[in-house]
Structure 1
Amino acid sequence: MSVHKQLLWCVLAFASQITSGLALPTPASQNHNGTLPRDALATRAKGFGNGVPLRIMPLGASITFGFGSSDNNGYRKDIRDKIEANGNKVNMVGNNPSGTMKDNDTEGWKSYTVDQVHDKADASVPKYKPNVILVNVGTNDCVQNKDLPSAGKRLQSLLDSLYAESPKATVVLSTLLVNKDPAVQRRVQDFNSQLEKLGNQLQLQADKKRLVVVDMQSDLGPKVDDLNTDGTHPNDAGYRKMADVFYEGLKEADRRNYFVAADKVDGLADDGA
């Protein structure tokens, strides 16, 4: 046998031993219709903060309450459904439940200004110790033209209280929605400028707070056509857009690793439903 033939024989023999001793990976089994099973394609979401239960307080006035929506759920059901689908247990908390949804607790108070909402928060935040607070407040200050030059200071006082009363809270603070009344809209823009300036200042401090500011007047937020006839409160489509904006804020908070477990409170389950 020539040297070349001997070498070819050795290579073929070696390859035969390898393939007989090792099994190649088999593809995922198929269903009767030839498609891959659902489990082979799906990836299960862990949820924000690696799936930490979220005890969420929606905080604000009538928009937080859900006024103007067909079911008084406002944005809360949509965002709750999104969070659950993402992998977190959710317990909405607050002293003024509203809407047809399961777990309909909220801290939304119709016609309340920043200072009045602050008073309500001082009673409810220590009681529930939320680890997420969704804040939309100030519309009534603008409608009533109430002490707008001090809006930033009054907002800061509210935020300071939230962090003092629930130190593990991540706050998602939203700007105010667009308003159909041109005079009110100008006040809203002034209010939002002070709010955004405050958010930037808090992020520059050495002891940065768990704060994300979201813009309800961005492309994602409600437009004038998404408001009810009163020109202030969203309709159902507008509330869905609010939920989308708040949800983007939660995603940003997760990217910043803000979420931590809430303090234990007797009688509060991880799932509010």
Structure 2
Amino acid sequence: MGSGEDTPTRPVRIMPLGDSITEGWGSATWAGYREELFNELHRLGHDIDFVGPRNDVFQPEGDPDHAGASGITIQGLTAVVPAWVSAAAPDWVLLHIGTNNMYDDNATLAPGYLRDLLDAIQQACPAAHILLASIIPSRFAPFQKHIDEYNQHVRKIAEERADRGVHFVDMAPALTASESGQDDDLSDNVHPNLQGYAKMSKVWRDALHPLLPAPEGGPILTRNPHFQTTRLSAAHQADRGWDRGYFPGWDNEGVNAYAAELAGSGNGSNAVGMFTAPPMYKGISTRLATTPQVPVRVTFRTKSNSLGPAYACDPNAGSDHTFTIEADGHPPATMTADGSWRTLTYDFTPTATFTTLRFSPNSQPGCGPLITDVLAREVST
């Protein structure tokens, strides 16, 4: 265990940008390639934050944010990306776009539209790097002819802009399509099936991994370390509920969720506030896929909080709050949150392939602490 002045984690901000294939059309949870890519990058040790104006309300784990819009064309995306990209401030943009331009002879205009789109992205966020992908194949032969021609231009355009932070990703060969639909990677004429989305995630992973900053530790085990959620709004300071969906990847046992600005420093995190007054508020927990005997270090940020009597809190309870952190099979550790954001650590060595990590409020007056940015990492040798 340890403490120190808060130094907020700043995840790498990644914007999945495109049409319904980016949105995840045809996948069970509408996460498409995004959820598996998120998990793959965590396994490689990268702390990432998906960003964008849309979120996937069905996604059970990970980070639901994205910038995929069903049915959108290249020129349609060009009209909205200045606002989308400026607001999200991505470090990296994963761009797969053009499928909806392939349906007629106007497909020949698509390369020009693509240049305009890249100009719009780079004007809105000059520091962002763009991974520009060739688009996946279609089962319909007339579409495929246009796709093959367009993808040649995609490669050329990326190479022309290599010195401006554009990187070509050859996505098309990774997936197969057949007119009969037998044993291919599509769920219909244009959208991937689960197997196809898994292949897309691996191509994005292999392209991103060598370009991202070197990981600051081993594999990240927390599925949702920064409490990304589909249920939070900055307009509501507290939004209490028992539904696990408030914090994908976490079991929510009657706690409060707080808007991102309370987590501080604009790093995209939300914070969870743990009530201590009523006994039914038991905190939060998450299940980690652990390797027996491989040590794990948990780093997290915490700050005391008191919302007052309207939330069953005692406003005179003081600025310090104690809470408990515990991993299965290990003694609980009691920690203290004070009036400032602090980064604390908790170390344990798992004995099983799955370990539950819990944060629990203690039975003291007032509201419990705020918790955010919970990164459980394997300690690599």
What TM-score does the superposition give when structure 1 sets the normalisation length? 0.70
Provide the residue aligned with 2:269 in structure 1. Answer: 269
Aligned partner of 1:78 among 15, 36, 46: 36
Checking the alignment, whether the CA contact within 8 Å between 1:133 and 1:171 is kept in structure 2 is yes
**1:1-273 correspondence to structure 2 within 5 Å:** 53-98=11-56, 99-100=58-59, 101-143=61-103, 145=104, 147-203=106-162, 208-218=163-173, 221-224=174-177, 225-228=184-187, 230-254=188-212, 266=266, 268-269=268-269
Structure showing the higher helix proportion among its residues: 1
2:37 maps to amino acid: I
Deviations 1:30-68 (A, max 9, x none): xxxxxxxxxxxxxxxxxxxxx972111110000000001
1:114 maps to amino acid: I
Provide the residue aligned with 1:24 in structure 2. Answer: none
CA distance in 2 between counterparts of 1:171 and 1:193 reads: 18
Deviations 1:68-107 (A, max 9, x none): 1111110001111111121221111111212413321111
2:123 maps to amino acid: A
Checking the alignment, whether the CA contact within 8 Å between 1:90 and 1:272 is kept in structure 2 is no
Q: How well do the aligned residues superpose, as a CA RMSD in angstroms?
A: 2.5
Q: Could you tell me how far 1:248 is from its partner in structure 2? A: 1.6
Query: Residue 198 of structure 1: SS of its match in structure 2?
Result: helix
CA distance in 1 between counterparts of 2:118 and 2:100 reads: 18
CA distance in 2 between counterparts of 1:133 and 1:265 reads: 22
Distance 1:170 1:272, change over 3 A: farther
Deviations 1:210-266 (A, max 9, x none): 221111122xx12120101x22100011000000111121135349x9xxxxxx984
CA distance in 2 between counterparts of 1:193 and 1:93 reads: 29
Distance 1:244 1:123, change over 3 A: same
Q: Could you tell me how far 1:125 is from its partner in structure 2? A: 0.4
CA distance in 1 between counterparts of 2:374 and 2:87 reads: 15
CA distance in 1 between counterparts of 2:155 and 2:161 reads: 10
Aligned residues: 208
Structure showing the higher strand proportion among its residues: 2
Q: Could you tell me how far 1:179 is from its partner in structure 2? A: 0.5
Checking the alignment, whether the CA contact within 8 Å between 1:129 and 1:265 is kept in structure 2 is no
Distance 1:164 1:265, change over 3 A: farther
Distance 1:120 1:210, change over 3 A: same
Distance 1:103 1:185, change over 3 A: same
Distance 1:166 1:265, change over 3 A: farther
CA distance in 1 between counterparts of 2:194 and 2:207 reads: 20
Distance 1:147 1:252, change over 3 A: farther
Checking the alignment, whether the CA contact within 8 Å between 1:65 and 1:73 is kept in structure 2 is yes
CA distance in 2 between counterparts of 1:244 and 1:111 reads: 24
Checking the alignment, whether the CA contact within 8 Å between 2:38 and 2:63 is kept in structure 1 is no
Distance 1:188 1:88, change over 3 A: same
Instruction: Find the structure with the greater CA-based Rg.
Output: 1
Provide the residue aligned with 2:296 in structure 1. Answer: none
CA distance in 2 between counterparts of 1:172 and 1:117 reads: 16
CA distance in 2 between counterparts of 1:199 and 1:265 reads: 34
Provide the residue aligned with 1:45 in structure 2. Answer: none
Deviations 1:156-202 (A, max 9, x none): 11112212211221211110101000000001111111111111211
Checking the alignment, whether the CA contact within 8 Å between 2:41 and 2:209 is kept in structure 1 is no
CA distance in 2 between counterparts of 1:91 and 1:251 reads: 15
CA distance in 2 between counterparts of 1:272 and 1:242 reads: 28
Distance 1:92 1:265, change over 3 A: farther
Checking the alignment, whether the CA contact within 8 Å between 1:56 and 1:134 is kept in structure 2 is yes
1:268 maps to amino acid: G
